């Protein structure tokens, strides 16, 4: 049976002074996570807020262990790329 892992990332972008500033960081983060980890990534909340964003990354696997490894790597990469802007992360499972 397949397992679906959903990683939610909360961002607070203090340096953003406009939606354009925020979108520049968010787009770069989404593109990098997609290409490096083969996950689906979308901004799911706070699209009109300058300094907040919520992203969700999703992976599907035949084994929960593998899905956990992928999402842990995504979280580490997001923390590295976003730095202090990443203020929260949590994972949910659909089995």
The pLDDT score that the predictor gives to residue 1 is 83
Whether this model's pTM surpasses 0.75: yes
Q: What is the pLDDT of residues 8-61, one digit of tens each?
A: 999 999 988 999 999 999 999 999 999 999 999 999 999 899 899 999 999 999
Cβ pair 57, 40 in contact under 8 A: yes
CB-based contacts of 29, cutoff 8 Å, min separation 6: 55, 78, 81, 82
The CATH number given to whatever domain includes residue 11 is: 3.30.70.1120
User: What residue numbers bound the domain in which 82 lies?
Assistant: 3-94
Count the domains in the chain. Answer: 1
């Amino acid at each position: 049976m397949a397992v679906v892992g959903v990683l939610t990332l909360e961002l607070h972008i203090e340096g953003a002074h406009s939606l354009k500033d925020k979108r520049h960081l968010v787009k770069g983060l989404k593109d990098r996570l997609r290409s490096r980890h083969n996950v689906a990534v979308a901004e799911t909340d706070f699209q009109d807020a300058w300094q907040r964003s919520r992203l969700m990354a999703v992976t599907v696997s035949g084994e929960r262990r593998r899905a956990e490894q992928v999402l842990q790597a995504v979280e580490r990469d997001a923390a590295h790329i976003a730095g202090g802007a990443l203020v929260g992360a949590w994972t949910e499972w659909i089995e």
